[in-house]
Chains A and B, each alone.
Chain A
Amino acid sequence: MPEHGIEGLAAARLWAATKFPYLATGVFGAQVIADPGSGTLSVDESWRMHADPEVTADWTAAQLGSVLIHHVCHLLRIHGERAQDTGVRPDEAADWIRAADAEINDDLVPAGLELPGRPVLPRDLRAEDGLLAEQYFAGIRRQAARAAESQARSGPWLDWLDCGSGADGIPRPGQGQGSEGGLPRWQADLLRRQVAQDVIAHSKQPGTVPAGLLRWAEEILTPKVNWRAVLAAELRRAVAEVSGAVDYSYRRPSRRSAVAGPVVLPALRRPVPEVAVVCDTSGSMTEDLLAMVLAEVEGLLRALGLARQVRVLACDTAVAPAQRVSSARQVELIGGGGTDMGAGIGAAAALRPRPAVTVVLTDGYTPWPAAAPKGMRVVVGLLGEGAPDAPPWTRSVRVEP
């Protein structure tokens, strides 16, 4: 291990690894470098911590260990990258770090973190516990806009220290990115996964791991699928398979036939398929989510050049007449009560011209027909968490905002 020249570092790391055993891999994975005169202990995105020996000398082992844990959490939750995605300007970096600190501290301080000074907690930002840094940061931005001119921007956090580029994504002079000694990105990703696995393993004993950290680990190990991308792919595929859109067909001779002599070549054809959307309007549906998904479907169909063909059916146990719409805002959701999507699919199949693709948006609490309707593709959007599965003859997409 390289010379770090920080007194009491070993004891601090030992304290951290004992008190928070599920983060031990992260604590030992970070490299600590002495950086005299920096006046703080900061972290960069390559898992290197830059410590000013004069600052750390005043801290107890528990305090230094807590700062290490705190910084490891900045890295685990990739606050640097998220700051860039959020568009944090350099003059807002301090606000972002307060937001990121609040995200970490809200469950680690109750778990026994002993940070020097007064750590930022969500209540300092007039927010509730358990939110994301982005949400805390949006709150700070709103408050700053309200407070307007420069005044009223002081608080107990001003005595808190700079957490570094690992927390806000803004490079610090003299701390090269990944150039010498730090962890390259892919190794940092592996380390993060390892910590997540440790957290899950420790959570088998109830009451040991803070809930926020457990939620983080579960998200790392089973990443959320972006339903928009999946829905788009399923729709594109259904439209492509049904219509053979812009595909080759022997129905018409190719334009190259003139020079190809006796050979029959296929030509490009593009039939335009009809699309119907069946909306579940039973009492159990959330209207906001339905409107959001409907708008998404409409946007996708417009991108495929099919927006004019869309017909929307509202359905609970009975089916309202089809509405031809040009915008999701025009859809009137009439209905309520029980649900039978079979009726909706049957009604879609009875439309003339017959739709080649039917999109069903439902919460899944419905009976389904036993088999697929003939000659029609069915794409199901299952809305809301824990929706029951759709039958295997459909292509289903889970939509969980």
Chain B
Amino acid sequence: MSLFGASVRRKEDPRLLRGDGRYVADIKLHGMVHAIFVRSTWAHADLRGIDTSAALADPRVVAVITADDLPPGLAPLPCIDAEETTKPFNQTILATDRVRYVGEPVALLIVEGDRYIAEDLVGLVEVDYEPRPAVSTAEAAMAPGAPIVHSETNVAEVLEYDIGDTAGALASAPHTFTERFVTQRQAGMPMETRGVIVDWDQRRDGITVWSSTQIPHSLKAAIVGYLGLSENAVRVIAPDVGGAFGVKLQPYPEEIVLAFAAQSVGRPIKWIEDRYEHFVASTHGREQYHDVEVGYDDDGRILAIRDHAVTNTGAYLQRLALVEPFIAVSMLSGPYIIENQHLISTVLMTNTTPLNPFRGVGHVQAAFVMERIVDLVAGGVGLDPAEVRFRNMLPNDVFPLHRGIGNVLAGEIIYDSGDYQACLTRALEVADWDGFRAEQERALTDGRHLGIGIGFFVEETGLGPYESGRVRVEPSGQVVVFTGACSSGQGHDTVLAQITADELGADFDDIVVVHGDTDLVSSGVGTYASRSAPVGGTAVRHAAIAIRAQALRIAADMLEAAPNDLELIDGEVKVKGTPTRAVSLAQIAGRVAPGQQLPDGVDNYTLDATDVYHPTTNTFAYGCHISTVEVDVETGVVTLLRHVVVNDSGTLINPLLVDGQVQGGVALGIGGALMEKLFYGDDGQPLSTNFMDYLIPAVGNMPEMTVEHMAVPTPLNPDGMKGAGEGGAVGSPAAIANAVADALLPFGARVTETPLDPVTVYELLRDSTVIAPTGA
């Protein structure tokens, strides 16, 4: 019986449930010393000098490392999606002559003892800062005479896409409006902060690195490059990772510094980021505003959109700095036709923690802006918002659809498959759209303000450049699957075993999945952009298919039959029509184990196949969120009543796990819609540095949730999978914002920003021009 598509329990859980998880903070090595980073306390300052003498005089201090202790001429950390025109505002491994955000690493202190001692001693490193004026907001950074974060300008890049004739369409449109939409600075905030252990390995004259990372192979490549080591000398291990969401998606300066330190100190060094540090030292996301001008007609057809997005990307361009600014405009049109689009995306530097993609990157803003626009258009023409969506939606015969925009990371945006109308129709049914309208009217007579809102999204998933998958069958019958994808809680051990079991008929319990170790997995990219199933899973599928072919060839020899007369079922190769003549995969593996004489036509010992799958273009998951809310107009508190998601991630390997991804994504979206915001003072001082200032949703914030799946499989991979990690986070803020806007319609309040925390809602009501109807 195939497990593909089955909601099986996860293989990884029993170990974790016994308390045998092994996260980086749990690892202890003999002789280990402890590291702490000296970080800038100024948002912007010249670095005049670092006096390490007091620190080095303390017997507990093992070493202090500053930029001067690193090899000269080290390249700054790259922004790998930079265009030729992108300014080189990149971050050096340690600050050299200037610091540009509070939290920027300036030096590394290594002590004998523990983190307690390290925190005691970190003040011994004296840094001489000469403060400079700082900017923390986009407006301040663009103002004439603004302090410049790097050189000449705070604008690092401007992306521009022009489709159709937007100026003409806007000029001739029967109706137009302009609006500014604002999304706030947020962060992924996994429950596990970052952490690194480095150990110089004398035997390989190299280094072993444990890091809570999503990208062990990229980290290895970075260390190889910076330290000038051979690839064989570097091993990177991602142990159990306690959530990542994009925050652990790049080689960070700390990891490189610690690698250098391992070389010079010669003892294992452990650094565990604490939460206070995490708030300033790990990347942020989402801070953007969009100035839009929209043209539409009396039928609610959106004719043209001009969108100028401005992203406050922080002090340095991180590894994937252009992704959020790009996707936020390039995916604006989502499921809609919109023939005329003029999209500009400005990437702006400020003296704040740098941004890098996290869950839903750019799509969250695109969906929020677009879905608000649709509702405003609906209000403008007096039509039902669902109806306006249907009128603007792409029909089903357009796929594959070239959207006319290149893709920052690869190729071009080409929508692969979908049925947006069916998705919207089903979501409206499940949410009982019409029934809710009646309930809303009744509630209004009691003075209660309910609202319903739609958040439809299309999201690029299954990104390349590639992923590796290897399957190996041992003579014992165990099947080992190696993947370049790297789990931070998604369930790779389970779903990749499901694919393999499906292809080979091997017993699910006999399959082991290996990931996160560059010694064991020869190549890989990592886990992000909802790619582990469509790309990682496809590589495993291809490798398993190759195993199948190998197995049949070997079994042909063993059974003295032609390969075409054989079939692989339930882990055994049988002669068709004569099921008693069969050999198991274990026996087949044993037949070609070293020491055997290989059958004719078989070149390789072991039953082992590797695929490195390079998708030529990526998939596009999509879905429809519908949120219902009640707004307490006296306090501004928004209570979520119900949240419906109809999600299409193509064919699902394990629906239970996909439900978990969607629900978790919705929780993140609720945080973004209602409560999460990272504040900075005008001087660039971070004001949100703990969980009392930055609120993430708790169990009591979750509404009743219904998640349904539909599937229009993608033609891009054999299983039709699209990826499901982010969709829950992408459509939910749009739906919630639209629901709140709907609830506040009687007041003429205009919802244009998130979070819709109580104060914001209160101010919308306070400043609105309409006195709400009371009672009947």
Tell whether A and B belong to one assembly: no
